[in-house]
């Protein structure tokens, strides 16, 4: 099949879950023998054009960023123009849309160009937007925010309603989509997020990995990798670490990631006197990510909101490292399959701190660290891997063909 993936993010540099799913879907479908291309919005300060990754071409179109209306209309117009350019050289069998604005123009104006359209719902666009906004300071700003929320919700509903199937990454997101957009259950498909179990693997010698990453070998290493934004709950995590630090636990928290809260987190670390306990290490390249999971004794997911799946969890579990998370989004859906002790009772610092104490005590019991590690790894091999993910996605893309063969 000729398959085109539409996205607002680039697969070139993996910054978060959206880029990781996009890249692994493209690579996985290509490895199964299909011709795959990507059509994406050019990142800010990056010119449009084409780049090639592992034999897959990513085509980029530029947009106007003068104001919100210009951004919207240029996104729609330029995506259709580039879509037409690609369709002139490669007839399409299926289109996979990863973000609604990337697919709006093509599915409204060129729906006849492919026999199968699939929408991948990472999270709801209007909810994602709302979590990124600070408090409004004027009536005009409040009205502008409400208009943005309605517009994003309307765009996403328009795209979803025209796709043959909507794929969600978790049961949590299935319920959110039904509630927000009234999509019928028969048009929804659950295809969980995943990890490459060959790229993310357990290592026996955790101490040598710690030493190689310049981490203390005489402390319990806690690791989290997050976009540094409010919904990730990192301020509550620091409160939990402060609480445990007073109790003389020999811990080190390593926080990977970039974002607007970097300076605030640094200030909080100084104010809480945690400079010897917490490290902000910035962006963690894909080549180094598995090493940090392997070095950690426990990986943390302190999210406050959303978390439509949480790829960090399955990546850590693939490396044989237990994960502790808050009761948010799809986190309990995954971690309860390993052990309910891995889910905190709440999202506040005290709840995270109490959960940390419980889990750290459990990990000291004979055989418990290995039990949790083995159970998590087995879950990855059975359910949360890219091979299975792409096979299930292909089943959606090949739906009409299967019906014709059956007839």
pLDDT at 405 over 50: no
pLDDT band at residue 133 using 50, 70 and 90 as cut-offs: low
Cα separation, 131 vs 127, in Å, equals 6
pLDDT at 406 over 50: no
- Average the pLDDT over each of 23-37, 59-73, 134-148, 321-335 and give the range with the smallest value: 134-148
CATH topology identical between 2-194+385-406 and 206-382:
yes
Contacts of 66 by beta carbon, 8 Å cutoff, 6+ apart:
none
Mean of the pLDDT values across residues 165-191? Answer: 94
Residue 374 burial (10 A CB sphere; 0-12, 13-18, 19+): middle
Mean of the pLDDT values across residues 52-62? Answer: 94
Contacts of 202 by beta carbon, 8 Å cutoff, 6+ apart:
294, 318, 319, 320, 321, 373, 377
pLDDT of the residue at 90: 72
pTM of full prediction above 0.85: yes
Identify whether the C-beta of residue 195 lies closer than 8 Å to the C-beta of residue 386. Answer: yes
pLDDT band at residue 135 using 50, 70 and 90 as cut-offs: low
Digit-coded pLDDT (tens) for 287-305: 899 999 999 999 999 999 8
Q: Which CATH architecture has domain 2-194+385-406?
A: 3-Layer(aba) Sandwich (3.40)
Residue with the larger pLDDT of the pair 197 and 88: 197
Sign of the dihedral defined by the CA atoms of residues 5, 11, 16, 22, in that order = positive
Cα separation, 223 vs 230, in Å, equals 18
Dump the DSSP string for 12-36: SS--SHHHHHHHHHHHHHHHTT-EE
Mean of the pLDDT values across residues 277-289? Answer: 94
- Average the pLDDT over each of 73-87, 240-254, 255-269, 380-394 and give the range with the smallest value: 240-254
pLDDT of the residue at 407: 28
pLDDT at 130 over 80: no
Integer angstrom CA distances of residue 308 from 18, 25, 141, 208:
11, 17, 28, 34
Cα separation, 249 vs 276, in Å, equals 13
pLDDT at 157 over 80: yes
Mean of the pLDDT values across residues 260-286? Answer: 95
pLDDT at 383 over 50: yes
**Residue ranges per domain, the chain?**
2-194+385-406, 206-382
CATH code that applies to domain 206-382 = 3.40.50.2000
């Amino acid at each position: 099949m000729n398959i085109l993936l539409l996205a607002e993010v680039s697969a070139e540099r993996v910054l978060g879950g959206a880029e990781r799913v996009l890249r692994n879907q493209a690579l996985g479908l290509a490895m199964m023998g299909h011709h795959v291309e990507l059509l994406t919005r050019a990142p800010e300060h990056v010119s449009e054009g084409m780049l090639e990754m592992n034999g897959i071409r990513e085509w980029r179109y530029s947009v106007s960023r003068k104001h919100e209306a210009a951004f919207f209309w240029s996104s729609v117009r330029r995506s259709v123009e580039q879509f037409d350019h690609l369709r002139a050289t490669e007839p399409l069998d299926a289109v996979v849309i990863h973000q609604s604005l990337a697919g709006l123009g093509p599915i409204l104006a060129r729906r006849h160009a492919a026999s199968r359209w699939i929408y991948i719902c990472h999270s709801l666009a209007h909810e994602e937007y709302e979590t990124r906004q600070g408090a409004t300071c004027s009536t005009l700003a409040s009205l502008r925010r409400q208009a943005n929320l309605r517009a994003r919700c309307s765009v996403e509903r328009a795209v979803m309603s025209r796709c043959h199937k909507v794929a969600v990454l978790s049961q949590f997101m299935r319920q959110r989509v039904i509630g927000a957009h009234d999509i019928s259950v028969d048009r929804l498909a659950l295809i969980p997020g995943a990890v490459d179990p060959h790229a993310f693997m357990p290592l026996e010698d955790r101490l040598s990995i710690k030493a190689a990453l310049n981490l203390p070998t005489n402390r319990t290493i806690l690791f989290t990798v997050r976009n540094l934004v409010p919904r990730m709950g990192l301020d509550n995590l620091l409160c939990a670490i402060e609480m445990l630090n007073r109790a003389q636990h020999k811990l080190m928290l390593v926080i990977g990631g970039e974002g607007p809260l970097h300076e605030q987190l640094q200030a909080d670390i100084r104010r809480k006197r945690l400079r010897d306990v917490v490290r902000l290490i910035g962006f963690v390249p894909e080549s180094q990510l598995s090493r940090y999971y392997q070095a950690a004794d426990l990986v943390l997911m302190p999210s406050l909101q959303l978390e439509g799946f949480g790829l960090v969890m399955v990546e850590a579990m693939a490396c044989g490292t237990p994960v502790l998370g808050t009761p948010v989004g799809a986190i309990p859906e995954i971690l309860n399959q390993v052990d309910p002790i891995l889910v905190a009772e709440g999202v506040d610092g005290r709840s995270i701190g109490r959960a940390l104490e419980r889990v750290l005590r459990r990990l000291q019991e004979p055989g418990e660290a290995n039990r949790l590690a083995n159970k998590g790894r087995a879950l990855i091999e059975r359910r949360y891997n890219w091979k299975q993910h792409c096979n299930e996605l292909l089943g959606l893309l090949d739906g009409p063909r299967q019906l014709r063969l059956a007839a």
